[in-house]
Amino acid sequence: MENRINKAGDIMAIRALVITGFGINCEEEMAAAFRLAGAEAEITHINDIFSGSVNIHEFDIVSIPGGFSFGDDIASGKVLANKIRFKKLGSQGTLLDEIKAFIGNGNYIIGICNGFQVLTRLGLLPNIAGTCTQEASLIHNDSGRFIDDWTGVSVPVISSFFDGLHSFELPIRHGEGKLVFADETVRTKVKEFGLNFLTYTNNPNGSEMDCAGLTDVTGKVIGMMPHPEAFLTKYNHPAWNNAQPGSKNDEYGAGFYFFKHLVEQVKKQKG
């Protein structure tokens, strides 16, 4: 990752690219989260990346927000993942090729909800074998219905993704949120490497290992089903006027700390 220096000799702000288009509908909240956390955020239609008018390598973080890409007509995230994997760019490579190079340069890519579904179908999560072969999937909730609610989550002691918060609530909005792994080998490696960084305390969808959030082995690819961008201030919570689980008794919601931690991590790398 190259440092970008301004005329005063200071390192410029972290830049986050927020992808939209084809049914993605949480881009404004995602951009707001990055800006609140101290980064610059640019929302762009994915077709602008395919056409070459936007270059992901000019950013530090690429994010795929939640929504219903291509209406979830085949399976959630599948069509968008196939376009990223197979659509040829001007270079004759694919956007997946560019994303792999982007990660290899030390940059981050995150997917929330539908974005998480895209990352698993691309094989970027958990990517134990390092070949971007699909090793996990997000399938229909055990309840058989769409869930729009707040859910309890817990952060393992070894994880710092939420800046010291351990147990709190986040909103979920999904019909296909049950995370399943391809086989016992993948499941074992996820446990061994500690890739399950966020777990449900009530498992609303039946996910294996109670998994609500997953990283790859590099820690540069991050996906989760709950929506941290929808809980940036305590006033987003339905019980905003009461003490909330795991809160720091300030104006921020738990989701803010995820983005703050991510931006600070990138700043440390750039420094």
Tally of structural domains, the chain = 1
Closest CA to 99 of 43, 49, 137: 49
Q: Is residue 5 part of a domain?
A: no
Examine residue 40 and state whether it is found in any structural domain, yes or no: yes
Q: Counting runs of H as helices and runs of E as strands, what totals does the chain give? A: 7, 11
8 in a structural domain:
no
Please tell me the distance from the alpha carbon of residue 255 to that of residue 233, in angstroms, as a whole number: 8
CATH number of the domain bearing residue 266: 3.40.50.880
Place of tokens 């239609």: 45
Q: Is residue 228 part of a domain?
A: yes
Q: Is residue 254 part of a domain?
A: yes
Give catalytic residue positions: 113, 227, 229
Would you say the pTM of this structure is higher than 0.85? yes
The answer to whether position 3 is within a domain reads: no
Domain range for 50 is: 15-270
Residue that the structure tokens 């010291």 belong to? 164
Judge residue 271's burial from the number of C-beta atoms within 10 Å of its C-beta, 0-12 exposed, 13-18 middle, 19 or more buried.
Answer: exposed
pLDDT digit string (tens) for the chain, length 271 residues:
444 554 444 557 999 999 999 999 999 999 999 999 999 999 999 999 999 999 999 999 999 999 999 887 788 899 999 999 999 998 789 999 999 999 999 999 999 999 999 999 999 999 999 999 999 999 999 999 999 999 999 998 777 899 888 999 999 999 999 999 999 999 999 999 999 999 999 999 999 999 999 999 999 999 999 999 999 999 999 988 876 666 787 899 999 999 999 999 999 988 7
Burial of 148 (0-12, 13-18, 19+ CB in 10 A): exposed
CA angle, 195 then 20 then 254, to 5°: 45
Is 226 a member of any domain? yes
